Structure 1
Amino acid sequence: MTDYNTADIRKQVERFLPKVLKPSRYLGTEWNAIRKDWEHSKVRMAFAFPDVYEVGMSHLGLRILYHLVNSYEDFLCERVFAPWVDMEDRMRENTIPLYALESYRPLQEFDVVGFTLQYEMSFSNILNMLDLAGIPLRTKDRGPEHPWVIAGGPCAYNPEPLAPFIDFLMIGEAEETLPQLLRLIQEQKENPVSREEFLLKVAQVEGAYVPEFYQVRYLEDGRIQSIEADPRVPKIVQKAIVRNLDQSYFPTSPIVPYMEIVHDRMMLEVMRGCSRGCRFCQAGMLYRPVRERSPETLLRHAEELVKSTGYEEISLTSLSTGDYSCIQPVIRGILDKYSEDKVSVSLPSLRLDSFDVKLAEEVQKVRKSGLTFAPEAGTQRLRDVINKGVTEENLLDAAESAFKAGWSGIKLYFMIGLPTETQEDLDGIVSMAKKVVELGTRLGRRNVNVTVSTSSFVPKSHTPFQWEPQEGTASLKQKQQYLREKLRDRRIKYNYHDVETSYLEAVFAKGDRRLADVLELAVRKGCKFDGWNEHFKYETWLECIEELGLDPHFYAHRAMDYDDILPWDHIESGVNKRFLMNEHHKALKESRTLDCRYVDCTGCGICPERGLQIDLKG
């Protein structure tokens, strides 16, 4: 890339910005954006989201960490997103390096570039962004003149396909560890030591994982023989945990974009963690234990958010907001204060077994939207296998209450390809959808409409199903076709997720370091935005995997044994392997495990082993 100063980049970009889609993605002039003095900042961080602006700006983690880092006098944080293909073409034509929005400075000038790993299908964008920034892709090719490339997020719990590209990762919650790591980078700038010596200091921070200190050896059949840690670093990397959510940092003056984003509203994180124990759900395992914020804290945050943003909707976010023990007083407190200002409340996740139509009516007094429920499976047998814990009766009761209260549209989410799934389970999806439609019609609702969405099961690390294979693509396509035919009804709409995308997601979700070469080759051949159907180059990915002599079925379609060494065995989620094995056994026996908030400890290990406890405010 040509050397540009900030003014040059800004001038060049302003010349062609009117010619690209959604130019406000690239301006960085939004309300509440923070511009700090570059020269007086001792550590300069670029928070890099490997997807387009409107997806990244909807991410609560970005909002928290951006404002957290900028709250420190010595630190500066700016944002960068993956430019859409039209913008990238213009940048490459004009040899403009990837720049941060607030200052238009190239990423190359920052001390640290931090990526968030939300989705395996964004891995190619990470490499493409580094290439566009002029930063060498592999850690071994970077020198002291390059920024540290770090990462965190849910996919950091199996980051092995990215291991050669990332200097170090943050496993777990970063509010307390990120500032510690930035202090170490500040010390390194002021009193430099060798790369190895610096990274050894990093590896002592809770949750910090430095891939180059862990050597992986393989057996002839492709399985892992051993993962050996350098004796100077922890053998197992334990996740970092925020112990008290009430006392943790939360931004109340978030950036307000000029364009519509995916979640264009205020966000209040009411709690973290979920102990429902769905066996396919990685987030439910990774974010344990459950910790809640108090109503007083949330109402104070709400007041500050309304003043600082001008938004008219507050979303109460968590993995399962209906389970928050103080949900009713918080909703009433917000609506009592702001309903005259037309400020509404939304609940992004409603559980069938905790659905309260009065609560839903209360929430949607200001503006009424559709209701979404996730039964996940079509029969009670399969719901017991996955430990979903809801019944068909729960669904019909919730639907009846909703129809009587004036709703006419309901969305239902299911998964196909779950372990032990049979034809009867598919027929159960059809039956449930038709029963909801018939119920609405019988209750006199006009324009009843039910949307059924199915995604394909992807086995994820640190879950009871991590040993399970993904079902074959041909079989999953057959199931989608069957459901499409059976759900033909003008009152039912059927949506489904691309099977090939789910297949590649499974390859990387269960993958090891050998996939790094595939990733790099695919990016060199033009792969990017793989989560977007119009840009997903499935055949190119298969060619790259074949060219490098690897077998994608080995990763996605192989059932693993309990005594196999898993690629992520040196990274700890807090939930012990013994518990996951036991849950896998119980799944195959169609046996339930109850929520530890309401019964005795279920033995996942997170509380006793880390000296924690569930923190409920109600």
Structure 2
Amino acid sequence: MNKLEKILARVEKPGRYVGGEWNAVKKDWQQADVRIAFAFPDVYEVGMSHLGLQILYHVVNKRPDTLMERVFAPWVDMEEQLRREKLFLFSLESQRPLGDFDMLGFTLQYEMSFSNILNMLDLAGLPVRSAQRGHTMPLVIAGGPCAFNPEPLAEFIDLFVIGEGEEVIHELIDAYKEMKQQGVGRRDMLRQFAKTIPGIYVPSLYTVQYNRDNTVASINPVAEGLPARISKRVVRDFDNVDFPTNPIVPSLGVVHDRAMLEVLRGCTRGCRFCQAGVLYRPVREKKPETLIRQAEQMIAGTGHDEIALTSLSTADYTGVARLVKNLLDIYGERGVNVSLPSLRLDAFSIELAKEVQKVRKSGLTFAPEAGTQRLRDVINKNVTEQNLVDAVSSAFQNGWSAVKLYFMIGLPTETYQDLDGIADMAKKVIEIGRACGVPKNRLKVTVSTSSFVPKAHTAFQWEPQNSLQELREKQKYLKEKLRDKSINYNWHDPATSFLEAVFAKGDRRLGRVLEKAWADGARFDGWSEHFNFDLWMAAFAAEGIDPAWYAYRKISYEEVLPWDHIDAGVSKRFLIREHKKAMAEQPTADCRTGKCPGCGLCPAFEIKPSILGGAEIAPLQSEV
């Protein structure tokens, strides 16, 4: 028995580390010119539920000259074994140490995974700081939503990919392959990537200057030929882009164990707190015949018994009811369920919900986000209380007995009257359920609240977060207000949300804190059983940095933001206008109506939304 077999026998879930799943790809190592490890900084069960991993794994492994293997953050029991036996962190497909690869690519889905990135680098035997890595070590790459404020990780990542990766990954591989054959050194290679490939940001090639008041003075490239702003990459022909119709089937239970069919990318709604709604603009829909074909191939290739229609707002897909009916006509008799992960109140159709849940019935989830119409206008959540009343009335009349409601607390301008609105709404849903004849012992309303986190590239990026004390008082207040046997109240730990806000709005100086916290034991900060708030506060104190300055400070429009050199396509002028409209409680129309709100992306990127049979949206050139 070798060392690896020994340690796998000692850990709780060895299936996390062995690979060999259905549809996993194991290529001949010697035949690959470029070898990439896709690194997900969380456990297998979370990472294998991520569609982006499946997409890039498929896109890269289609190339005959390149291989991609996977690695996930080892759980604490596995880390202990790796360190005890002095083994390096390895990939699932070939069990090779990560240091053998040409590139190590991290996905940045959530700020609370940052400490895991440093830990995985260290377990791989690599220096955590980019400047300390040698010529023979893999290039450390990162992409995903958190790459749109890359600065807290600037000291650790060699290069960031800004935007969608399906096309830029080929350009990166081609350029790397050519330069590797020419013997180009690491620093020159990074400089060439930054100069020649749009969407590539190499932080070591940019300097940051600070003002005396600690704000950012400037962010500038160190040499000519480097872009002053790095624009995101956008897939233009979304209907024909590569998509994995034979995804890997996990070998153990994961968070989302189902076939994921991406029906559209982007969202037109314009919720002012929502970063994804900005980062994934413009909306692009796939044709229904493309989706039917992909679903057929996925079910045949995986054996999954559920097809999830995924996107930021699936109910907005043109002809979603017809698509669901077609899929159920084909697969319903085979026991394959079709699910919509989220339903909007105003797009809700009980007929659609009935169709979706013909095979297996489950609870319904809605996200009003705020308890009053005033606050919903502030955040531009264009739904009304009547929408909720209509939706839950239909649901209860058609056999549902459980409803989940999601809200955010700590939103800009929120008052206790808005919190009262959350409690009133939950109680109204209970009253509707009772009026519709739902048995008392079966009627259940679950209210969940998360804490508002201001994010880069949103209309609320200038806003402060509520203090920990304020958030805890609001949670306590709601807990009292929601005392009812039919209501279950859940809330998120505000300490986690505080740290998330610090890193979401942070700059390069936070790298010192991150490294200190990791060295002192920070791991799996998104998991309540491992998150250690006191450890983090000690790291901030040790580095002389006040986290409250990042999370609780209202920022002026004139200030240089740490992420101003990253271009998400939506103009700062538009975001300022949206922020002002929020403070005036004025909503902005959905651009699906055909009226362009003037965000600036379409003219700047020379692209238009691709909405099937939708209204033509003429960009407001003068407003950007």
* TM-score interval (norm. to shorter): over 0.9
Native 8 Å contact 1:200 1:232 kept in 2: no
Give the superposed CA RMSD. Answer: 0.8
The CA distance in 1 between the partners of 2:586 and 2:94, in whole Å, is 56
- Alignment-mate amino acid for residue 334 of structure 1: L
Q: Are residue 36 (structure 1) and residue 27 (structure 2) matched? A: yes
Secondary structure of 2:165's partner? coil
- Give the structure-2-normalised TM-score: 0.97
- Alignment-mate amino acid for residue 354 of structure 1: A
The CA distance in 2 between the partners of 1:413 and 1:394, in whole Å, is 15
Native 8 Å contact 1:416 1:454 kept in 2: yes
1:396-407 aligned at under 5 Å gives the runs: 396-407=389-400
The CA distance in 2 between the partners of 1:413 and 1:44, in whole Å, is 42
The Cα offsets for residues 109-136 of structure 1, whole Å up to 9 and x where unpaired, read as: 0000000000000000000000000011
The CA distance in 1 between the partners of 2:183 and 2:374, in whole Å, is 60
1:210 is aligned to 202
Native 8 Å contact 2:448 2:489 kept in 1: yes
Task: Tell me the CA shift for residue 188 of structure 1.
Answer: 2.3
Task: Tell me the CA shift for residue 21 of structure 1.
Answer: 1.5
The Cα offsets for residues 169-203 of structure 1, whole Å up to 9 and x where unpaired, read as: 10000100011101122122211223332112211
Native 8 Å contact 1:80 1:100 kept in 2: yes
1:166 is aligned to 157
Native 8 Å contact 1:43 1:74 kept in 2: yes
Task: Tell me the CA shift for residue 56 of structure 1.
Answer: 0.2
1:53 is aligned to 44
Q: Are residue 244 (structure 1) and residue 243 (structure 2) matched? A: no
The CA distance in 2 between the partners of 1:83 and 1:282, in whole Å, is 29
1:294 is aligned to 287
2:401 is aligned to 408
Secondary structure of 1:413's partner? strand
Q: Are residue 496 (structure 1) and residue 488 (structure 2) matched? A: no
1:282 is aligned to 275
1:550-569 aligned at under 5 Å gives the runs: 550-569=545-564
Task: Tell me the CA shift for residue 600 of structure 1.
Answer: 1.4
Identify which of 169, 185, 193 aligns with 1:178. Answer: 169
The CA distance in 1 between the partners of 2:7 and 2:137, in whole Å, is 28
2:621 is aligned to none
Task: Tell me the CA shift for residue 373 of structure 1.
Answer: 0.3
Q: Are residue 603 (structure 1) and residue 595 (structure 2) matched? A: no
1:382 is aligned to 375
2:415 is aligned to 422
1:383-532 aligned at under 5 Å gives the runs: 383-446=376-439, 447-532=442-527
Secondary structure of 2:438's partner? coil
The CA distance in 2 between the partners of 1:598 and 1:553, in whole Å, is 40
CA 1:617 to 1:599, structure 2 compared with 1: closer, same or farther past 3 Å? closer
The CA distance in 2 between the partners of 1:368 and 1:23, in whole Å, is 33
The CA distance in 1 between the partners of 2:384 and 2:234, in whole Å, is 33
Identify which of 86, 89, 96 aligns with 1:95. Answer: 86
- Alignment-mate amino acid for residue 2 of structure 2: K
Native 8 Å contact 2:258 2:304 kept in 1: yes
Task: Tell me the CA shift for residue 616 of structure 1.
Answer: 1.0
Native 8 Å contact 2:107 2:144 kept in 1: yes
Q: Structure 2: where are the runs of 5+ without partners?
A: 614-624
The Cα offsets for residues 349-380 of structure 1, whole Å up to 9 and x where unpaired, read as: 10000000001000100000110000000000
Secondary structure of 1:78's partner? strand
The Cα offsets for residues 441-469 of structure 1, whole Å up to 9 and x where unpaired, read as: 11101211000000000000000000000
The Cα offsets for residues 189-234 of structure 1, whole Å up to 9 and x where unpaired, read as: 2112233321122112111111111100111111111111233200
Secondary structure of 1:403's partner? helix
Native 8 Å contact 1:597 1:614 kept in 2: no
Percent of aligned pairs sharing the same letter: 60
The Cα offsets for residues 561-600 of structure 1, whole Å up to 9 and x where unpaired, read as: 0000000000000101000000000000000100111131
Secondary structure of 1:165's partner? coil
Secondary structure of 1:535's partner? coil
Secondary structure of 2:591's partner? coil
Q: Structure 1: where are the runs of 5+ without partners?
A: 1-9
The CA distance in 1 between the partners of 2:336 and 2:141, in whole Å, is 38
Aligned length: 609
The CA distance in 2 between the partners of 1:199 and 1:255, in whole Å, is 32
Task: Tell me the CA shift for residue 13 of structure 1.
Answer: 2.1
Native 8 Å contact 2:140 2:157 kept in 1: yes
- Alignment-mate amino acid for residue 587 of structure 2: R
The Cα offsets for residues 287-345 of structure 1, whole Å up to 9 and x where unpaired, read as: 00000000000000000001000010000000000000021221111111111100010
Secondary structure of 2:582's partner? helix
Identify which of 125, 128, 140 aligns with 1:134. Answer: 125
The CA distance in 2 between the partners of 1:200 and 1:604, in whole Å, is 32
- Give the structure-1-normalised TM-score: 0.98
The Cα offsets for residues 494-552 of structure 1, whole Å up to 9 and x where unpaired, read as: 00000100000000000000000111111100101000011001101111111111110
1:21 is aligned to 12
- Alignment-mate amino acid for residue 199 of structure 2: G
1:549 is aligned to 544
1:194-343 aligned at under 5 Å gives the runs: 194-203=185-194, 204-230=196-222, 231-343=224-336
Task: Tell me the CA shift for residue 393 of structure 1.
Answer: 0.5
Task: Tell me the CA shift for residue 57 of structure 1.
Answer: 0.2
- Alignment-mate amino acid for residue 225 of structure 1: A
Secondary structure of 1:352's partner? coil
2:567 is aligned to 572
Task: Tell me the CA shift for residue 24 of structure 1.
Answer: 0.7
